């Protein structure tokens, strides 16, 4: 009787082996899938960060500066909205200065472009002007209207 029992026990162990191997393979397979899914989630999280950056991007306003004018000479913006003034010159050397918000571009000429960024923190009408020579007196000025 003892001999028979031992043989039966060995056969049971043998039949268990493939099941254990299968279980290990399944666990490893699911583990890998889970790992790649998590990597996928991390990759998808990146565009959300870019979206935040776009929200605080400045309002870009193209301004032409010539002798002795700005076009447009009236610019409307909102309180707290970052503004980027992009000045392109047309004949002569010019800049864009707005004392109220410490905005001042470099001086450029010959169709070159310069820019300055600032954030108006109060409402009102503020004069911007060209600080080259007597350009301001000659009429090279305009109004920034902050609403």
List interacting residues with Cu ion (CB under 5 A): 94, 130, 132, 135, 140
Residue nearest to Cu ion (CB): 130
| Smaller CB separation from Cu ion, 70 or 126 | 70
To the nearest whole angstrom, how small is the minimum distance from the Cβ of residue 114 to Cu ion?
12
What is the CB neighbour count within 10 angstroms for residue 95? 22
Q: How far apart are CA 8 and CA 50, in angstroms?
A: 66
To the nearest whole angstrom, how small is the minimum distance from the Cβ of residue 132 to Cu ion?
4
| Smaller CB separation from Cu ion, 26 or 137 | 137
To the nearest whole angstrom, how small is the minimum distance from the Cβ of residue 89 to Cu ion?
8
To the nearest whole angstrom, how small is the minimum distance from the Cβ of residue 135 to Cu ion?
3
| Smaller CB separation from Cu ion, 130 or 146 | 130
HEC-encoded secondary structure of 9-56? HHHHHHHHHHHHHHHHHHHHHHHHHHHHHHHHHHHHHHHHHHHHHHHC
| Smaller CB separation from Cu ion, 75 or 146 | 75
Task: Give the DSSP letter string of 106-128.
Answer: PPB-TT-EEEEEE---S-EEEEE
Two structure tokens written together for 94: 């010019």
């Amino acid at each position: 009787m003892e001999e028979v029992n031992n043989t039966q026990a060995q056969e049971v162990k043998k039949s268990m082996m493939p099941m254990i191997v299968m279980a290990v393979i399944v666990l490893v397979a699911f583990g890998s899938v889970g790992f790649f899914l998590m990597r996928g989630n991390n990759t998808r999280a990146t565009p959300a960060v870019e979206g935040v950056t776009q929200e605080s991007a400045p309002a870009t306003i193209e301004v032409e500066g010539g002798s002795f004018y700005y076009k447009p000479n009236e610019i409307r913006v909102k309180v707290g909205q970052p503004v980027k003034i992009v000045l392109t010159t047309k004949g002569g050397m010019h800049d864009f200065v707005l004392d109220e918000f410490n905005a001042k571009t470099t001086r450029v000429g010959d169709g070159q472009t310069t820019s300055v960024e600032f954030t108006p923190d109060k409402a009102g009408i503020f004069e911007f002007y060209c600080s080259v020579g007597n350009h301001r007196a000659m009429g090279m000025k305009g109004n920034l209207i902050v609403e």
